């Protein structure tokens, strides 16, 4: 018997590991809603909309409690930081294990739609949410590829606008926000002095760069993808757009060369708050500006300049920014999840949450609240209604953002270190990015 013991232990050990490994993959169906039985709870991954993950929880919890009271469904909330959100969603899609409901950046819509991970919302489902007409058109257009049922409902809307420092404008003798790009550059030159700069940009931010080349390229009359979906980043219009943006550092010299290294999505805004830059192009900055001690008396919000209508460019001055709410196909409680989407797009919830976040409701009936009648919100509302366009809803959108944004990072580095920025150098980099679009 003495000799048999080690065998038994060894085999038992091996079996235990094997059993543990199998056990893990078997209980996947229960997902995050194991407690209290199916039907009574859902898991929700929210994106980080507030100043911190903690503040998001505080803003969302009262709403979630209201949902639980109305429907009896408990919501397990997790706020996921932006840096992790896409990877978490991809992992959930790959493994089939994840939350029931998730927030996504609306520029990912078409890419994520292609994975098939989300429940497509057909007309019946959209009707239970109040019908297509209830949503803002541009926001609804950013929920998936054209002609296919959307893979989510718009939750919060944003757009780019020009924020300017009223005091600095007054000191420089400038009465109003610039209406054309020439005016913006001229104002910028007046404002650039004594270590202060006209305009701040996030030169090393991949996504910001991608958004800017889209908007400026539209203004030049160009498109990033041709009608058959082939990338054409190095078209003359896009080259001109990138050059115009880089020239703020390279030839106009209204932007601090240091901005070429700004990448974390806060630095340019901090320069604006600290009075080191007089203008910045940003999405819904009011929350952060308030935290930084600025009131609407200190800053103004205006649309980003549009091109001269005679130039042939499109009258587009922003991408349609925003957050969508989607239901996972693998959701353990799909019914509850769809009820939750309906709740989140209801008038009351839209008003509460967009007020708290400083973003715009995605449904038209929510705008009767006086909180959405401020000049800033009105400006945004007009931009979204008239001059904003969604980023190309193509499956390789995230690849585009990475490649073009990265190419622009490198060009910004060149511009900041005084290397010449010409049509040729810009085109060479964009061609390289274009060729790397593989799929």
Report the residue count for the chain: 439
How would DSSP label each residue in 167-191? HHHHHTT--S--SSHHHHHHHHHHH
With tokens 């600025």, the residue in question is 294
Contact 408, 427 (CB under 8 A): no
What is the footprint of other proteins within residues 376-395 (CB under 8 A)? 395
Q: Where do the H-state alpha helices sit in 27-81?
A: 53-71
Smaller CB distance to other proteins: residue 48 or 395? 395
- Rounded to an integer, what distance in angstroms lies between the CA atom of residue 246 and that of residue 422? 10
How far apart are CB 251 and other proteins at their closest, in Å?
17
- For residue 322, the SS3 value is strand
Residue 260 as a binder of other proteins (CB under 8 A): the answer is yes
Smaller CB distance to other proteins: residue 280 or 388? 280
How far apart are CB 205 and other proteins at their closest, in Å?
9
In our burial notation (b when 16+ CB lie closer than 10 A, e otherwise), range 78-116 reads: ebbeeeebbebbeebbeeebbbbbbbbbbbbbbbbbbee
- Rounded to an integer, what distance in angstroms lies between the CA atom of residue 141 and that of residue 33? 32
- Sketch the per residue contact string, 326 through 345, with other proteins: x for CB under 8 A, - otherwise: ---x----------------
Helix 236-250 vs helix 181-191: crossing angle, to nearest 10:
20
The Cα angle at residue 418 between residues 417 and 419, in degrees rounded to 5: 100
End-to-end CA gap in the chain: 63
How far apart are CB 179 and other proteins at their closest, in Å?
31
Residue 409 as a binder of other proteins (CB under 8 A): the answer is yes
- Rounded to an integer, what distance in angstroms lies between the CA atom of residue 119 and that of residue 329? 5
How far apart are CB 268 and other proteins at their closest, in Å?
12
Contact 350, 363 (CB under 8 A): yes
Smaller CB distance to other proteins: residue 102 or 389? 102
- From 3-11, 284-292, 319-327, 350-358, give the range in contact with other proteins by CB under 8 A: 3-11
Residue 162 as a binder of other proteins (CB under 8 A): the answer is no
What is the footprint of other proteins within residues 87-116 (CB under 8 A)? 87, 90, 93-94, 96, 111-112, 114-116
Smaller CB distance to other proteins: residue 5 or 69? 5
Kindly tell me which residue out of 215, 372, 414, 427 binds other proteins, with binding defined by CB under 8 A. Answer: 414
How far apart are CB 426 and other proteins at their closest, in Å?
15
- For residue 294, the SS3 value is coil
Residue 403 as a binder of other proteins (CB under 8 A): the answer is yes
Residue 18 as a binder of other proteins (CB under 8 A): the answer is yes
Residue 1 as a binder of other proteins (CB under 8 A): the answer is yes
H/E stretch holding 423 = helix 423-436
Q: 31: phi > 0 → left, psi -120 to 50 → alpha, else beta; which?
A: left
Kindly tell me which residue out of 256, 283, 326, 350 binds other proteins, with binding defined by CB under 8 A. Answer: 256
What is the footprint of other proteins within residues 196-225 (CB under 8 A)? 204, 206
Size of the site for other proteins (CB under 8 A): 55
- Rounded to an integer, what distance in angstroms lies between the CA atom of residue 91 and that of residue 25? 15
Residue 438 as a binder of other proteins (CB under 8 A): the answer is yes
How far apart are CB 277 and other proteins at their closest, in Å?
12
Q: Where do contacts with other proteins occur on this chain (CB under 8 A)?
A: 1-4, 6-8, 10-11, 13-14, 17-18, 21, 87, 90, 93-94, 96, 111-112, 114-117, 204, 206, 256-258, 260-261, 263-264, 329, 395-396, 398-399, 402-403, 405-406, 409-410, 412-414, 416-417, 432, 435-436, 438-439
């Amino acid at each position: 018997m003495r000799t048999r013991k080690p065998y038994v232990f060894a085999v038992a050990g091996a079996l235990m590991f094997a059993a543990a490994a199998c056990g893990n993959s078997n209980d996947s169906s229960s997902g995050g809603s194991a407690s209290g039985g199916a039907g009574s709870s859902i898991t929700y991954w929210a994106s980080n909309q507030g100043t911190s993950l903690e503040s998001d929880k505080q803003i969302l919890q009262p709403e979630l409690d209201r949902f639980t009271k109305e429907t009896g469904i408990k919501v397990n909330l997790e706020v996921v930081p932006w840096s992790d959100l896409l990877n978490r969603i991809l992992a959930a899609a790959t493994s089939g294990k994840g939350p029931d409901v998730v927030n996504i950046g609306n520029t990912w819509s078409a890419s994520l739609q292609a994975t098939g991970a989300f429940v497509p919302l057909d007309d019946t489902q959209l009707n239970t949410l109040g019908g297509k007409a209830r949503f803002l058109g541009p926001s609804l257009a950013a929920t998936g590829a054209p002609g296919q049922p959307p893979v989510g409902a718009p939750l919060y809307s944003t757009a780019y606008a020009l924020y300017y420092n009223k005091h600095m404008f007054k000191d420089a003798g400038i009465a109003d926000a610039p209406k054309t790009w020439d005016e913006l550059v001229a104002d910028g030159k007046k404002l650039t002095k004594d270590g202060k700069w006209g305009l701040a940009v996030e030169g090393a931010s991949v996504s910001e760069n991608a958004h800017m080349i889209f908007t400026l390229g539209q203004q030049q009359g160009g498109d990033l993808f041709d009608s058959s979906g082939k990338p054409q980043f190095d078209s003359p219009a896009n080259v001109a757009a990138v050059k115009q943006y880089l020239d703020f550092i390279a030839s106009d010299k209204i932007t601090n060369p240091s901005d070429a290294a700004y990448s974390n999505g806060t630095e340019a805004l901090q320069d604006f708050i600290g009075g080191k830059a007089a203008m910045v192009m940003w999405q819904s900055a009011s929350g952060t500006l308030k935290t930084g001690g600025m009131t609407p008396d200190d800053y103004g919000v205006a649309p980003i300049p549009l091109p001269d209508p005679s130039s042939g460019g499109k009258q587009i001055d922003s991408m349609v920014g925003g957050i969508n709410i989607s239901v996972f196909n693998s959701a353990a409680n799909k019914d509850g999840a769809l009820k939750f989407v309906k709740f989140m797009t209801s008038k009351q919830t839209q008003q509460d949450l967009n007020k708290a976040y400083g973003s715009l409701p995605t449904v038209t009936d929510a705008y009767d609240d006086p909180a959405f009648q401020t000049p800033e919100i009105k400006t945004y509302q007009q931009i979204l209604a008239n001059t904003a366009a969604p980023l190309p809803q193509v499956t390789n959108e995230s690849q585009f953002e990475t490649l073009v944004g990265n190419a622009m990072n490198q060009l910004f580095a060149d511009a900041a270190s005084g290397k010449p920025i010409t049509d040729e150098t810009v085109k060479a980099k964009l061609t390289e990015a274009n060729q790397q679009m593989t799929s």
